[in-house]
Structure 1
Amino acid sequence: MRYRRLADRPVEAMHAHFERHTYDMHAHETYSFGLTEFGAQAFNCRGEARTSAAGLVMAFNPDEPHDGHAATAGGFTYRIVHIGPELVADLLSDKAGRATGLPLFDEPVLHDPVLATALARLYASLSAEATTLVRDEALAATVAALVHRGAHRTSPTANVKAATVAAHRARTVLNESYLDDVSAEDLAAATGCSRYALYRAFKESYGLAPSEYQRLLRLRAARRLIVAGHPVAEAAVRAGFADQAHLTRWFRRCYGITPGTYRNAGC
C-alpha cells in the first residue's frame, strides 16, 4: 500500500491491495474516485450492495457513506484519489470565475474506459517526479471528464443530502461539540423528538448513526492535527480518542492505513 498527500492542495491518493481488510462504514469530506485494477471490491452504498470489478470506476460524492471488502479470495487492487470539493468547484468555474455548481454522481460504480484511463493518468501525475503544471492539467482534465461523463450539476446552493429538520439539528450539535460526551438523550432534547425517531431520521438522512458520525468528525480532526505536525499520540487525545491505539484502530478501519503512514505521506 502506498499513500500520497499533496501539501499545497486538498488531494490525497492511495494505491493498495487488500485481501482480508474490511472497511467500516465511513464517508470522506472529499470526492473520491477509485479505479479497480485487479479482483473485485464489494461495498454497500445508498442502501444497496455494489461491486467494483477490474476496470470499473467508483465515484463517491462528499459525505457519502460506504464500506468495503474483497469480493474474491484473491482480494482486490485499486487506486483511489480524494479531491476536495473546493478544488472541484474551482476547476469547474466558468471563464469569469463564477461557480457553476458542484457535480453529483448518480451511480457509485461506472463502466467507462475513458474515465478509467483518466484516473490512472491522474494518479501517475501525483508522483514526486511530476511538475506542478503536469499535476494541475491532469487534475483539471480528469475532473472535467468525470463530470461530463458520469455526473450532473447541482445549483451552487443546493443541498447534497436533504435532511429532516431533526437530523439537521442533531448534525449541527455534533459538528459544534463532537469532542463532548454527547448522549442520545442530549440529541433528542436538542431536536425535540424521541431518541428512536432521531436515530431513524439521522440514519436515513446521512447514512450513518449519530455515534458513527461523531467518530468520523473525530477522525477528521485527528487527520488535520497530524497534517499540522502534531505527534500521533497527541492528535489522538486532542481529537477525542482514548489513546493512540484507539485512534489507530479506527483510522485503519475507515481509511485502510495507520496514522503513521498518513503522517509520512506528504509530498
Structure 2
Amino acid sequence: MAIQRKRTDFWGSGPALRQTADFSFHLLAANAPEEEVQLHTHEEAHFVLVLSGGYMSSAKNAPVISNTPLLVFNPPGTTHRDRFYGGRGTFLAVSGGIDAHGHGYAMSVADPYAIQTARRIATDFHHASLNPLLLDGSAQQLLAACSPLTSDESKRATQPPSWLKTAFEMIYASEDPDLSVAQVAAYVGVHPVHLARVFRRYLHCAPGDYLRGRRLERAAAVIGSAASLADAAYAAGFVDQAHLTRSFRNVYGITPGAWRKRMKVSSIQSDEHI
C-alpha cells in the first residue's frame, strides 16, 4: 500500500522551506538510500526540479535516469516511487495550488520558460527579493505551463524566444546519433554562438552538454534491450562501447554493464509485483 504524503512531505532533508497561502517551496537534498524510498501518493500537485544527481522518474517523457535539465510535474493523487540513483541528489520542490488540476498524469515539462522559472526560484531561494508575491506568481506560472489553456499573458517579458523551445524539443526527441549543435542552430535559424548564449541563459547549460546528456539518457534506456553494449553505444550516438563506458561511468558512477544487470533485476522485481 502506498504511503500518503502531504504538501510538505518529501524524501529529502534541509531547513530550506518557504510558504505562501497556496504553495510550499523546498530546497532539499535526498536523505534516503534509493532502495528505502517506498511507493507513495502525493495529495497535492507538485513540481520537482532536479538540481544535481540522477533522478529516476516514472513521469511521462522523463528519462530513465536524468542527466539534463529536468522539471517534473505531478498532479494531485500521483502515486510513484521517483527517487535519486544511489540516494544522492538535490532538488527544488514546489507543492500546492488550489486549482492545480493540470494534466491527469505525471509529466516531464519540456518548456524552457518553466525550467527557467523553477531554477530562478532555486537560485534566489534565500534572497529577500524573492517575496511571497513573487513566489506565488512563479508557482502559478509553473502550473500554467502544464495547462492546456496556457496563457502567454501570464509570462513575463523575460520569456525565452520561441525558437528555443523548438531547439530544446528537437534535441530531446531526436534519435539521430549524428545530430550536432550546428544542425540544431541551422534548423531554428540562429547562429550556433547565439544558440549557446540563449541556451545557457535559460537552461543553465550549453547546448552541447544537453545533447551529450540526452545521448547518455538514451543509452541508459536502451542498454537493457539492446543486443549488446556496442549496439547500445551506436544507437545512442557514441563512437564505440569504450566511449560509452567512460561517459556513463563519469556521470552515473556505474558501468553500462552493471547498469544492464540492474535493469534486468528491476524488470524481474516489477514482474513479480504484477
Greater RCO (CA < 8 Å, at least 6 residues apart)? 1
